[in-house]
Amino acid sequence: MTATRYTYYPGCSGKGVGRAYEESLLTVFEHLGAGLDELDDWNCCGATAWPSVDEDQANALAARNLALTEQRTPGAGPVDLVAACTGCYRALVRAEHVLGERGPAAQKIGGGLASIGLDYEGRARARHPLDILVNEIGLDAISAAVVRPLTGLKVASYYGCLLVRPFATFDDQWNPTSMDRLVAAIGAEPVDWPLKTRCCGGSCYCGGPVIGVMPEATMQLSYALLREATKRGAEMIVTICPLCQFNMEGFQDRMSKRFNHPLDVPVAFISQLVGIALGIDEKALGIKRLLRWRLPERDPIAAGVGSAAEGGGDARA
């Protein structure tokens, strides 16, 4: 494995509600020989709220980060900016598209960037960590590095809306599979379900129920996801977006009461689960920051590996 280093864009949630995502991503990437270096002085991507005020400004905000990435890595070749949060990822890809079209909007954005001495040449492109894990580092390399295969753990992969919409950059728009393949690569069992990309209700609210724009609607939407996943036997849901993760995890108590359906499903970031399979310490993966976390009893992590080392019998029985 070559030691590649990527420029990394955490996004505001990566420093707040999604801190565990950032911690686990950094550790897992480091472990797999691909470091992530945080972009200096990055600013908010504009999210989906800024276009409600000014679309060009929203793209300019994202473009500033792309321009800073280019400035950081001089040269002629393309340079990747790994955006962890799917909301940021979409905003950055969007800015790339608008600037790539070289229309009047691109000129206006270029003017804005020029006023602070920046320029976007078109070299920087936004990448999602899932894309890097699956397509750059590769599933073979990941499964070769697995030391605690999560055999038998049924995992539902939730992709959320903005990873594949409106731009499907590296996966199928209607049935994305990269996370499922990753789940299979670490030994777990991917659960097939149809709500992979259905909105969780949190995306435009920048913190969803934290802010509580429409608590009822948000609860209905995330409840549909949790119900379907558990119905299909998922013991855990993994996701790649800090907002989706929080939306589904944080309000299960309230949802249980509201819908009269006891819910207790761990919702983790895919990077955390990969980290567990790679044998990384839970603390470095931010597992403690999750509100609920458990691996089923029969899991070899809880029982198999430890007792096997001590020469114990089949602890799984």
Contact positions vs another protein (CB under 8 A): 12-13, 15-20, 41-44, 46-57, 60-61, 64, 103, 105, 108-109, 111-113, 115-116, 161-162, 165-166, 173, 198-199, 201-207, 210-217, 220-221, 250-251, 258-261, 288-291
CB closer to another protein out of 2 and 260: 260
Residue 317 three-state SS? coil
Q: How far is the CB of 105 from another protein (least distance, A)?
A: 8
Please enumerate in sequence order all residues whose Cβ is within 8 A of that of 101, keeping only pairs 6 or more positions apart, or say none.
none
The amino acid occupying position 197 is T
Q: How far is the CB of 54 from another protein (least distance, A)?
A: 7
Q: How far is the CB of 118 from another protein (least distance, A)?
A: 8
Q: How far is the CB of 199 from another protein (least distance, A)?
A: 4
Q: What angle do CA 310, 295, 206 make, to 5 degrees?
A: 145
Rounded to 5 degrees, what are φ and ψ at 296?
A: -55, 150
Q: How far is the CB of 29 from another protein (least distance, A)?
A: 21
Smallest CA-to-CA distance from 37 within 62, 13, 72, 86 is with 72
- Alpha-carbon distance of 282 to 28, in angstroms, equals 12
Tokens 């030994």 appear where? 187
- Alpha-carbon distance of 24 to 129, in angstroms, equals 12
Smallest CA-to-CA distance from 162 within 135, 137, 197, 195 is with 197
Tokens 């939730």 appear where? 158
CB closer to another protein out of 185 and 203: 203
CB closer to another protein out of 82 and 109: 109
Residue 190 three-state SS? strand
CB closer to another protein out of 13 and 178: 13
Q: How far is the CB of 78 from another protein (least distance, A)?
A: 24
215-231 helix and 252-259 helix, angle to the nearest 10 degrees: 90
- Alpha-carbon distance of 289 to 139, in angstroms, equals 27
CB closer to another protein out of 17 and 238: 17
Q: How far is the CB of 17 from another protein (least distance, A)?
A: 5
CB closer to another protein out of 144 and 211: 211
CB closer to another protein out of 55 and 189: 55
CB closer to another protein out of 5 and 15: 15
Q: How far is the CB of 205 from another protein (least distance, A)?
A: 7
CB closer to another protein out of 139 and 214: 214
Type and span of the H or E element at 126: strand 124-127
Q: How far is the CB of 224 from another protein (least distance, A)?
A: 8
Please enumerate in sequence order all residues whose Cβ is within 8 A of that of 175, keeping only pairs 6 or more positions apart, or say none.
196
- Alpha-carbon distance of 198 to 259, in angstroms, equals 19
